[in-house]
Each structure stands twice: as C-alpha cells, then as structure tokens.
Structure 1
Amino acid sequence: MKNAQKASIDGCSGFYWSLCCPFFSEQGWSVIGIDSSPPENAPLSNLAAYHCLQLPDPKLNNILQENPPQVCIHCAGRASVGLSVSDPVADFYANTVLTFELLNRLHMYAPDCRFIFLSSAAVYGNPESLPVRETQTVAPISPYGFHKLMCEQLCLEFTKIYGLSTASLRIFSAYGPGLRRQVLWDICQKAITQSSLLLQGTGQESRDFIHALDIARALSVVVESAPMEGEIYNLGTGREVTIYELATMVLESLEQKCQMQFDGVVPTGNPLNWQADISKLKSIGFTPTVELERGVKTFVNWCRAELVGV
C-alpha cells in the first residue's frame, strides 16, 4: 500500500486474522486488535496494541477518541448457520446489534474512520442463477443470512444518514489453516481419524472457496481503491467446486483411499450451490492468488499436524 494505515480490527483472535494479521503487518499497517480472548491467544507479534474487551464495551469510546483508526475492519460475531438456527437470539445480538453499536460509536467518536463489514454469501440463500452477482435478489434461508443482510443495511444507513464511509464484503466459503469448523475441516478430520468418510448432503452441493490470505488481499484493495459509499462486493474466486470434488482433493492430498459416502441430508439453512461473480471486486484491482488445490494441500498438512502431530 502507498501509505501506512492505522487499523482497528475487532475479532482479531479469530480464524481470519490468524493469517490476515501477519499480512497487514507486513504491508506496514499499524494494527490495533480488539477481542474477548486473553492476550496469550491474540496475534500480539503483529499488533501495535491489543485490547481485551467484550464488545460492546464503553471502554471502546475512549480507545476511539484517544487513538482514532483510519480503518475499522469488523469481523467479530457468530459465524455458524447451524447455531443461528438453534439460537437465533444469540446470533442477532452477536451480529446485528454488535454491528449497530460499532457503527454508532464510530459515528460519534471517529467519524472519519472507514468501516469494512465482513458479510456473507448466506444473504443470497439459494441464488436464482450462477454465478451470483451483487445485483441479484437476496433471499436468506437462515437467521445468520438474515442478520448479515441487516448488518449490510446498517452500514448503508450510517453512510447515507451520517456520512460514514462503509463497504461490505460478501464472503463465500472461507478456508485456511486455523479453521476448525465447516466442510473442509469436517472432511479432513474424518478422513484422517476414521476408516470411512460419511458426509452430509449428496456431494453435488457446491461452494466457491476463498483462502484467508486472499481475503486479506481483498480488504487491502477495498481500503485503497473502493469508494466506500455503502457498496457491496462479492468475495470469492469465481470457481464452483462440488463437495464431492473437494473431498476427492483432500483424499489425494492425504495419499490415501477412503470409502466416501453421503447421507443425503442437507441441514436447515444450508444453500445448495454457490459460485461468485467477482467482476465488481476485480474492477477495483482484486485478483485471487491461492489456487484451491494448493490451498487444500496446505490445509490438509496443518490439519494432520493438529490431529496426529505429523
């Protein structure tokens, strides 16, 4: 980046930032981390400062006033479709209410700060056509998707009414070392620890997988080049991959044969097929760089080390 940025990142101890914080540090960012995790679980070596807070915390007001960031990247909150279905109240407060609180604090105490919201392709539900564009009708099929859509609307509200600079990124299927949930982890841990591989669905469900490092690169592009007028960007690779194909990649990376079966059951709230049209994000300078095959091999090696120590 041309100039160093002072960035506030809430949720900095989560999966995204296990890989993203080093990226931003290497790019010359001065990163202020905010999370509820104790300091020993935070990426302190890549942070200029760390604040252990359970947001929304009144202490955030002082932090913003005393050391106002130029950019706030909001990635805290719940990220589970299943948990949103079983406990929609907790999901609403951890996602929608928290996003409103952060936007309102920035409006009051750091109005020049640019706000980037990490949204989700869950807002599309089952898209009417693929690849899905930002202009397509949104039709969430989970509380998580509805709450993310509400957050996008809050960003637009604070841009239109209060002049806050905001942008939302609809992330498709994120993955990378450190992620101990979702389909890639499920496939890997079963393939490594069991003699057979029983997975949900039919195997023909599809996703568009985006590596955490490419998420970091996309955020950097948005900060540097986006108009930040409440607009929305799809963040994926544009490549549709079935779960059967993904599982095959994992088994090939493990160099093992394993009987693969699918139970035919698609959990409530899970869409059938995803593929992103990323032309809008490409138009401001983003190009994904991590090929899925290479990313899966890296993830498999990390997963094997986590589960069996080799």
Structure 2
Amino acid sequence: MPMIGGKKVLVTGGAGFIGSHLVDALVADNDVTVIDDLSSGRQEYVHDDASFAEVDVRDRSALAAAIDDPDVVFHLAAVADTRRTSAGWDAPHDDLAINTEGTLNLLEALRTADLDPKVVYASSCAVYGNPEYAPMDEDHPYNPISPYGVHKLAGDRYVRAYHTEHGFDTAALRIFNTYGPRQPRYVMYDFLRKLQADPAELEVLGTGEQVRDYAYIDDTVSAFLLLADRAEPGEAYNVSGESVISIRDLAATMIELLGLETELRFTGSSWKGDPVALRADVTKLRELGYAPTIDIEEGLRRFVAAFEAEEGPIGETPLEGEPSVDVPRGPER
C-alpha cells in the first residue's frame, strides 16, 4: 500500500467507515487529527494514536478552530446514506448543508487562514447518474439523479474551482462501491442481516440485474493515499476494485460462501435514485500506480468473517477466517 509519511494530516469524517480505515493506515507515520460530529461515525473507531475533535463541518468557527496548519487534508465528512437522501427526497436541505456547504466551509477555512495543504476530497460515482456508456471514465457527463449526487458534484466542482482560482493543490476521488468492516448498511450488510434472521429466504430489492463495481476497503484506502502522494493538482479520479457483479450473483456468491440453501426472492423495484448499472474505468488511477489487490470472493470472505465476529454466526457454524482488521463492538457506519 502506498504511504505518505512525516506529515500533519487532517481527516474529516475520520470516525466513519472509510475515514477510520484511512486513519488506521496513516497513524504509524504521520501526525493525524480526526474531526467528526459522530452523527454516524463512532469515536471508538478512531485509532488511539490519532487526535480527535468532535466538530460539525456546518459550524464554521468550530471547524476553523480545529484546523492546525495540516500538510494534507482528507475530506470525507458527509451524509453518505444515499437511500436516506434520495428515497422520497426527504432530507435534501440537510444533505446540502453537510455535503456541499460543509465542503465549502472547509475550503474557506483553509483559504482565509492562508493555508495550502494538499486537499483530497471524497467524491462519488453518484455525480455521473445512470451511465451513458460503460465503463464510465472521468469524462463521463454529469447527470446525478439524487440529492446526494447533486451535492457531491457541487463539492467536487468546488474543490476544482479552488484549485483553478486560488491555486489549491486538490484532488477528488470518485468512489464507486466500497465495502468492508465497520460498514453497517448497504446491500452486503443488509443481506447478512436478513440471512442471519432467516437463512431459508433472502429478499432482494429490484430484479437482481442491477450491476455494481466493488472495491474492498483496503483498496479504496490505497487510492486515497495515492492521490495525496501523486495526483495531478485539480484532477478527479475514479476508484473501484474492478469487481463487477450483478446483485443476483452477489447474493448467490454470499449464500455459497456461507454454505446455505437459500431461496432468492426479488421485489421487482428498488429505491428512487438507485442507478441500474455502475462500472468504473480506473485507467487514470492505474497510471498513478493503483492496483486493486482484493477480489470479490476474498473481500466477501473477510466481510462475512468481520460481521460474524461482531454480530454472531449466520447459519449453524461461523465462517472460518479472520477479519482483516480489529472489529469494534457496536453499530457500524
């Protein structure tokens, strides 16, 4: 895994799923500060060797006070549950305030303090919406279909604008589908919870033909580190693990891995704002040296082992194997 060392690093959202794993990779060789409002992250996920401040990115004065001349800023603080922010469009103003205005607050705090760190922004494939072609590269048209995608696109473009107009050294990582320990929602976790409750039948939203491009958490973390070290200023990069699989096949693989005999039942409809197919072109990231190392079968094995270590076995016996990280107790982000 590529590393940066000897830096003062700020990670916003560092108590959450991806952020806490990123902090784990940074603390050995860097002075790391985490800020998080703990609305979905958990402080126990923050490595003991990192400093922590409970800060809401909507609070401009508190945010500015928490920034202490970092060399690198990883900005991951966000409302990340796209189902909550798109299904029914029930909280678009909250999503805007955190995902867009929070990003602007961070950039302005750095600008007004005359600081010039490397800024790596956690963007999303949601900026693209439904694909016009596949795999989608970074030049794919922007057509977000959810408030989350709209607001992530605004943050993505703010980061670019601060590079263009103010000379910031920025990069955006457009994340497709990342999974792993500490992730308490989305399709894989939902499947495991359902199978734990009833191994005989698994309800699957939609037709099962939805396609996703998954990256195990370790590979996504390596992409963040690569961007901090090697990204061209102002550029955006896709990241996935190049593990393209339909939801039907994902469910079947998980069931086979667990040794279950489970009937799949499809609802025929999914939640509003859910793209039919997502597949990333990561050529641009590969040119920086990115090479995913965990395929979907190994990633699922690790994910299931981590789930069973915390939530208990699925079926009669737990899956053999160890999670790739220490798994804390309690709900996950």
More helix by share: 1
Q: Does 1:25 align with 2:27?
A: yes
Identify the residue that residue 117 of structure 1 maps to in structure 2. Answer: 121
State the distance in 2 between where 1:100 and 1:167 align: 15
Identify the residue that residue 287 of structure 2 maps to in structure 1. Answer: 283
* CA deviation string 1:29-56 (max 9, x = no partner): 2211111239853414241x11122223
State the distance in 2 between where 1:298 and 1:39 align: 21
Secondary structure at 2:27 match in 1: helix
Superposed, 1:1-310 pairs within 5 Å as: 1=3, 3-26=5-28, 28-37=29-38, 40-47=43-50, 49-57=51-59, 58-64=61-67, 67-84=68-85, 85-194=89-198, 195-228=200-233, 230-308=234-312
Secondary structure at 1:300 match in 2: helix
Would the aligned equivalents of 1:68 and 1:110 in 2 still touch at CA under 8 Å? no
State the distance in 2 between where 1:149 and 1:62 align: 27
Would the aligned equivalents of 2:10 and 2:34 in 1 still touch at CA under 8 Å? yes
Secondary structure at 1:169 match in 2: strand
Would the aligned equivalents of 1:206 and 1:272 in 2 still touch at CA under 8 Å? yes
Deviation at 1:97, TM superposition (A): 0.6
State the distance in 1 between where 2:15 and 2:131 align: 32
Would the aligned equivalents of 1:39 and 1:50 in 2 still touch at CA under 8 Å? no
Alignment CA distance shift 1:155-1:179 (3 Å): same
Moved more, 114-123 or 49-58: 49-58
State the distance in 2 between where 1:246 and 1:199 align: 11
State the distance in 2 between where 1:269 and 1:62 align: 36
TM-score between both structures, scaled by the size of structure 1:
0.93
State the distance in 2 between where 1:2 and 1:11 align: 19
Secondary structure at 1:7 match in 2: strand
State the distance in 1 between where 2:307 and 2:4 align: 36
Amino acid at match of 2:278: W
Deviation at 1:22, TM superposition (A): 1.6
State the distance in 1 between where 2:47 and 2:229 align: 25
Deviation at 1:248, TM superposition (A): 1.3
Amino acid at match of 1:260: L
* CA deviation string 1:204-259 (max 9, x = no partner): 1010011111111111111111122x211001123321001111121122111111
* CA deviation string 1:276-310 (max 9, x = no partner): 00000011111111111111011112222333265
**Which ranges in structure 1 are unaligned for 5 or more consecutive residues?**
none
Amino acid at match of 2:16: G
Secondary structure at 1:266 match in 2: coil
Moved more, 11-20 or 52-61: 52-61
Amino acid at match of 2:226: V
Amino acid at match of 1:17: G
Deviation at 1:110, TM superposition (A): 4.8
State the distance in 2 between where 1:296 and 1:3 align: 31
Would the aligned equivalents of 2:211 and 2:276 in 1 still touch at CA under 8 Å? yes
Would the aligned equivalents of 1:234 and 1:277 in 2 still touch at CA under 8 Å? yes
Would the aligned equivalents of 1:131 and 1:238 in 2 still touch at CA under 8 Å? no
State the distance in 2 between where 1:253 and 1:31 align: 37
State the distance in 2 between where 1:40 and 1:304 align: 22
Question: What is the percent sequence identity of the aligned residues?
Answer: 31
State the distance in 2 between where 1:110 and 1:250 align: 50
Deviation at 1:189, TM superposition (A): 1.1
Aligned-pair RMSD on alpha carbons?
A: 1.7
State the distance in 1 between where 2:126 and 2:142 align: 9
State the distance in 2 between where 1:248 and 1:144 align: 29
State the distance in 1 between where 2:261 and 2:203 align: 14
Amino acid at match of 1:95: N
State the distance in 1 between where 2:15 and 2:259 align: 32
Deviation at 1:153, TM superposition (A): 1.0
* CA deviation string 1:84-114 (max 9, x = no partner): 1221111111101100000110112252111
**Which ranges in structure 2 are unaligned for 5 or more consecutive residues?**
319-333
Number of aligned pairs? 305
TM-score between both structures, scaled by the size of structure 2:
0.87
Alignment CA distance shift 1:106-1:277 (3 Å): same
Would the aligned equivalents of 1:172 and 1:208 in 2 still touch at CA under 8 Å? yes
Would the aligned equivalents of 1:239 and 1:276 in 2 still touch at CA under 8 Å? no
Would the aligned equivalents of 1:39 and 1:52 in 2 still touch at CA under 8 Å? no
